[in-house]
Chain A
């Protein structure tokens, strides 16, 4: 079978961080080629290179054996390559037909939009996708996620896509919709479309894929026909590496319970979560994106206050309805998204670091400028923030240094309970180990750290205990000694995992 698209020796760096190195990958007509890897392994970058969003720094890409370079997504689709994005890029206020033909609508000979033809062809495309129930005149915003996804697939097919790249298509679908989607994918495959299928869900991979390629840290671990693999083998390909040297959690005496959750719940996305965090302990929470980990953190921190259940700090029941209350109880939250909840990016390091402690720094409403500057200078020294000085604008710092600023800001509140959500996402390896060392030192000083991470090696290397979350609730607990990549990975991904319930 010939390859529809073939990549060889592809590499890509952003700033000075290498995200892909010497990747070879191909998709043949009539196959589903699964692309696997942890978050940050380089899958999305690879997809974006094939889809024309990014351009590779090195290597070759061939479509139907002819060398190509894509300057834009439009170039890629002209070569028959279409991407169904995870975050469905549709126009909610336009109709189904308009969305399908956005940018390449059929025209009348006068150059006007040919509405009858557009609606007719949209109808035919949706019928091909077993979606007779979707009306071409419906507003896309009124459709369910599953139906919007079909519109996006129809949009790809309307451009005669021969390679269809699907980025975690089932991440936000309920089980019934998943099955229907899988059958659509099989149908397309049988018609000769080559499909790149990205998913974390191993059962889907085994149900669907013909071949699997695993990426890790921007490099290809291997490509193999699905028949030669089993779940354990795949998980170990994804995470397997000597992790203990990379993540040095110091041995610390575990002390008294600082934070206890009892059947904590929030609006159906956090269900029945009970856990205990002790002084000096790093408690890791593993799980897939969307499993309710971040939502649990937001609930503890009072951004989305609990709808039921209890929170205990130092053994006393407390009510946390706002971040202010959480802060005053000695809880700090280093958020998942630095840009969204962590930093005021147009402001300086000094102004960001002092933001959560303005009250303590102020006398009679006026900030003590000298104290503030001292705090910023101390933070820069203590956290090894590489910057020109306390007045540098945060936006200009690298990701790792921005993360250190967020950490410094929250440690300025002198918390005893630190919640860190994806503490090292998007950070290069050097800064990563610096942040890990900082976490370790903080635990040694008696802080309790609740760490949410999608990177298994990080969870396994840093945590004293590992909790696994799925569908909004805790499904397994492992002690440091028992937390093997295979066991935790299995609990995260495999339905009805055998791990003991927490």
Chain B
């Protein structure tokens, strides 16, 4: 015990930072390593066009992963987010084509996202149906409904001012601003807002949270409502980045979003993780998929690589925790 105490006192601030944000550092390190290695093999990887493609083209995944992190930290899961984003993007495009004011086309999908997921959260919290069941149901309803209504047609001819994702400020595409600002705001909110803290507490120990005077049901609904908001923003970025909206569900989007949260350090058991981690992980995916192209590797390998990445990061995380548990006990 005494020995452990001495060791602990000698540990530097950096190592403590690493203990608290280990997973985030691992992901950041991986991103940097990728840039260095792939950039050395093929310098065009670091070209302006490709960087825009990596950061801007995948920002909507990072934004969706913020909401997913909230849900997972609360101790739940949402497998329907990909379908929801598909539906919301279609709504945005349709409103724009039908001639509604642009702000309506931007605002309504976000509102619908919040309403739908508030309902989902209420089913989970108050009807006590496991989240995996509710969202599996939502996945089918949204996916089936979307195909039935639109027939999978492409939406085109949106007015030019609709394409918010193609706008630039100081040369940087708008989606990057969305990603960075929302991530920073949410990181701050989760650390310093009472409600953010409640999300960690409910996911970490629901009974203790209840005994401490929090309302776990309300926290769950709130987490899902916010998740709906982020899904709405993600849908907007997704819908406006190209000239067409394919009114189907982007394949495997929900898995990519969940994977980003988990690789970013959000514990699938709830209670731990940060949105900084999930955003970094979403950027890491984008880097990997782009790197595969530049290294002339078939895009089909992307899924396999992501799968390996999940296993590797979870193993690394467990090893890190075990080391700290062994050395850090007082």
Q: Beyond A344-B205, A366-B193, A391-B16, list 12 extra A-B contacts (CB 8 Å).
A: A301-B211, A323-B211, A340-B205, A341-B208, A343-B208, A355-B201, A355-B214, A358-B198, A388-B8, A392-B330, A393-B328, A397-B329
- The distance in angstroms between the C-alpha atoms of A239 and B213, with both chains bound, is 38
| Chain A contacts for B325, CB-based, 8 A | 395-396
Most chain B beta-carbon contacts within 10 A, residue among A354, A391, A395: A395
Q: Work out how many contacts link A and B, with CB atoms closer than 8 A.
A: 97
In the complex, whether A387 has a CB less than 8 A from a CB of chain B is yes
Residue in A351, A366, A367, A396 whose beta carbon sits within 8 Å of that of B329 in the complex: A396
Total count of chain A residues near the partner, CB < 8 A: 42
> By the criterion CB–CB under 8 Å, are A367 and B211 in contact?
no
Q: Mark A418-448, 1 if CB is under 8 A from B, else 0.
A: 0000000000000000000000000000000
Most chain A beta-carbon contacts within 10 A, residue among B8, B9, B197: B197
Given contacts A341-B211, A344-B209, contact A396 B328 (CB under 8 A): yes
In the complex, whether A324 has a CB less than 8 A from a CB of chain B is yes
Which A residues contact B (CB, under 8 angstroms)? 15-16, 301, 303, 323-324, 327, 333, 335, 339-347, 351, 354-356, 358-359, 361-362, 365-367, 369, 386-388, 391-393, 395-398, 401, 409
Given contacts A355-B197, A391-B20, A396-B325, contact A346 B330 (CB under 8 A): no
- The distance in angstroms between the C-alpha atoms of A455 and B207, with both chains bound, is 26
22 contacts between A and B (CB under 8 A): A301-B211, A303-B210, A324-B215, A340-B207, A341-B208, A345-B204, A346-B200, A346-B271, A346-B272, A347-B200, A347-B201, A351-B197, A355-B214, A359-B194, A365-B194, A365-B195, A366-B194, A369-B192, A392-B328, A393-B328, A398-B330, A409-B212
| Chain B contacts for A327, CB-based, 8 A | 213
Which B residues contact A (CB, under 8 angstroms)? 1, 8-9, 16, 20, 192-195, 197-198, 200-201, 204-205, 207-215, 267, 271-272, 324-325, 328-330
| Chain B interface main SS type | helix
> By the criterion CB–CB under 8 Å, are A323 and B213 in contact?
yes
| Chain B contacts for A367, CB-based, 8 A | 192-194, 197
Residue in A351, A369, A388, A401 whose beta carbon sits within 8 Å of that of B200 in the complex: A351
> By the criterion CB–CB under 8 Å, are A303 and B211 in contact?
yes
Residue in B9, B201, B329 whose beta carbon sits within 8 Å of that of A344 in the complex: B201
| Chain B contacts for A366, CB-based, 8 A | 192-194
Residue in A303, A345, A396 whose beta carbon sits within 8 Å of that of B330 in the complex: A396
- The distance in angstroms between the C-alpha atoms of A356 and B213, with both chains bound, is 6
Least CB distance from A334 to B in Å reads: 10
| Chain B contacts for A323, CB-based, 8 A | 210-213
- The distance in angstroms between the C-alpha atoms of A273 and B208, with both chains bound, is 26
> By the criterion CB–CB under 8 Å, are A358 and B208 in contact?
no
- The distance in angstroms between the C-alpha atoms of A388 and B1, with both chains bound, is 13
- The distance in angstroms between the C-alpha atoms of A333 and B194, with both chains bound, is 21
| Chain B contacts for A301, CB-based, 8 A | 211
| Chain A contacts for B198, CB-based, 8 A | 358
Q: Which 10 A-B pairs have the closest CB atoms?
A: A344-B204, A358-B194, A356-B212, A362-B194, A355-B212, A324-B213, A344-B205, A346-B271, A327-B213, A396-B328
